[in-house]
Amino acid sequence: MSSKVKQRSEGALHPKFSSKLRDANLFGAFTELTTARFQKYVLQPKHFMRNGWLLDPELELNQRSVRAYVLGDFPANPNNSNSIGQRVEINRKERRATVKTNSASQSQTIEFDLTTMEVTKNEISVNP
């Protein structure tokens, strides 16, 4: 297996989350972080606002080094088993982007290094 194929699989959203995002009509969500589309968005965040993403209301607007955008229900509504959302946090100081996909029962966190343009972490956890 070439390293490029391995890198792609490390940056992919689990198929369960991908299908839930499609079912919720969240077509602007990111299912793969090693694509040119994702890299364009994190390098030029204006694309988030033009494509249905909202600034995360939990984050203070006066922060310059960190920006966060949300799409869908984030955090997911625990009373609705079909609730799903995605949050992208861009930390310019640490040169890192974090994509968190959250459903009612599980969440997946993928970290992306903005210097090397590679995925550094991809993990799934059960929500409490």
Give 7's DSSP letter.
Answer: H
Q: Domains of the chain: which residue ranges?
A: 3-126
pLDDT confidence of residue 4: 33
For residues 102 and 93, the answer to whether their CB atoms sit within 8 Å is no
Tell whether the model's pLDDT for residue 32 goes beyond 90: yes
pLDDT tens string 53-85: 999 988 887 778 899 999 998 776 667 778 899
Tell whether the model's pLDDT for residue 1 goes beyond 60: no
The pLDDT of 109-126, averaged and rounded, is 94
User: Residue 71 and residue 10: Cα distance in Å, rounded?
Assistant: 22
pLDDT confidence of residue 76: 61
Q: Which helix (H) or strand (E) holds 5?
A: helix 3-10
